[in-house]
Amino acid sequence: MSKGVIGSATFAGFQESLEKLLAFFAENGFGLVEVKCEEPHFNPARVSKAKLRALEELAESMSLKLSLHAPYIDVNLASLNDYAYRSSLRAVRRSIELASRLNALYLTLHCGSFSSDYPPNLFGKAWEKSRRCVAKLADYALELGVVLGLENKERAEKRNLLVNPNEFALFMNEMNEGVGVVYDVGHANTWGLTTEEHINFVSFLSGRLVAFHVHDNDGTADQHLEIGEGKIDFNVLMPHMKSQGVPMVLEVHSLEGLVRSKRILEEAF
């Protein structure tokens, strides 16, 4: 899975067009772009065949590999509101189709969340709803030749699904062989993990990993800082990540920070 490739994700906060972002990434030596299926860059409901073809040709001309991140803003595969759930399912199915047409390396997926406004005893219902949904999406992805990467999520006011090894073990027990994991280092750190616990988490997922999401924070929130501005000990953690042989995708909220973080990753490689 593109061993040694360093990539970057797109963010809604980036003011440049997707075309200009790809040019920036190519000029700065990135090998992979994980395109988030969100406004303003890539709304799955509005992507025409012509735009899809143009994106594929542009990425190829710049020697950039592509992956996609399924919609997650206003999308919740664990929603107990049936209307919201159905629209979320439809949005993710569409992103699977787009990933297939683009020959994307993988499709990152958030598995949903449970609102703190619900009674706690309904969490199991939301969990099972998401698990069944993701299993069906995984079968659809396998049919279309798309690798799904389920992403571990951060600590937040809402209760995100898939946050620790035990939850991954339970959730993925009945998933097909096309389902992998995108390990988000920053998200994991919001749960107060020690460096050893990070390493153990990565080791637990070994063999199922399709990519890493890389960014830093101080452990209190999902801050998406550049490497070195938070408290994650990347000097110790990076060799264990590198040994997995999967892409390192930076998720830093500034273009300058992305470039500086890339240099640090290159030194590690």
> CA 14 to CA 250: how far, in whole Å?
14
Q: What is the pLDDT of residue 12?
A: 78
Predicted local distance difference test score (pLDDT) of residue 90: 97
Confidence of residue 138 (pLDDT cuts 50, 70, 90): very high
Query: Would residue 182 count as lying in a domain?
Result: yes
- The confidence score (pLDDT) of residue 267 equals 87
pLDDT at 1 > cutoff 60: no
What pLDDT is recorded for position 268? 77
Cβ atoms of 75 and 85 within 8 Å: the answer is no
Q: Please tell me the distance from the alpha carbon of residue 74 to that of residue 12, in angstroms, as a whole number.
A: 14
Model confidence at 156, in pLDDT bands (50, 70, 90)? very high
Tell whether 123 is covered by a domain. yes
Tens of pLDDT, residues 62-83: 999 999 999 999 999 999 999 9
The mean predicted confidence, pLDDT, of the chain is: 95
pLDDT at 269 over 70: no
CATH number for the domain harbouring residue 224 = 3.20.20.150
Q: Given this model, what pLDDT does residue 137 score? A: 97
pLDDT band with cut points at 50, 70 and 90 for residue 237: very high
| Residue 147 predicted with pLDDT over 90 | yes
DSSP 104-164: -S-EEE---EE-TTS-GGGHHHHHHHHHHHHHHHHHHHHHTT--EEEEP----SSEES--S
Least confident residue range of 6-15, 103-112, 159-168: 6-15
- As a 3-state breakdown, the chain gives helix, strand, coil percent values, each rounded to 5, of 45, 15, 40
Q: How confident is the model at residue 192 (pLDDT cuts 50, 70, 90)?
A: very high
Over residues 170-181, the pLDDT tens digits come to 999 889 888 999
Beta strands in the chain (DSSP E): 6-9, 32-36, 65-69, 107-109, 113-114, 148-151, 159-160, 179-184, 209-214, 248-250
Cα end-to-end span (Å), the chain = 16
The angle subtended at Cα 183 by Cα 66 and Cα 59, nearest 5°, is 10
Phi-psi region of 6 (alpha: psi -120 to 50; beta: other; left: phi over 0): beta
205-218 per-position pLDDT tens digit: 999 999 999 999 99
- The 8-class DSSP code of residue 16 comes to S
For the segment 230-257, the average pLDDT, to the nearest whole number, is 96
pTM for the model: 0.96
Q: How far apart are CA 230 and CA 214, in angstroms?
A: 12
160, β-bridge pairs: 113
Q: Which among 257, 89, 117, 111 has a CA at the least distance from the CA of 175?
A: 111
User: Does residue 234 form part of some domain?
Assistant: yes
Q: Is residue 80 part of a domain?
A: yes
Average pLDDT for 132-146: 96
Tell me the per-residue pLDDT of 21-59, one tens digit each, with 9 for 90 and over: 999 999 999 999 999 999 999 999 999 999 999 999 999
Take residue 224 and report the two structure tokens written for it.
């998406």
Whether 1 maps to a domain, the answer reads no
Phi, psi angle pair for 41, to nearest 5°: -95, -35
What count of other Cβ atoms lies within 10 Å of the Cβ of residue 185? 26
Question: How many structural domains are present in the chain?
Answer: 1
Expressed as residue numbers, the domain containing 241 is 6-268
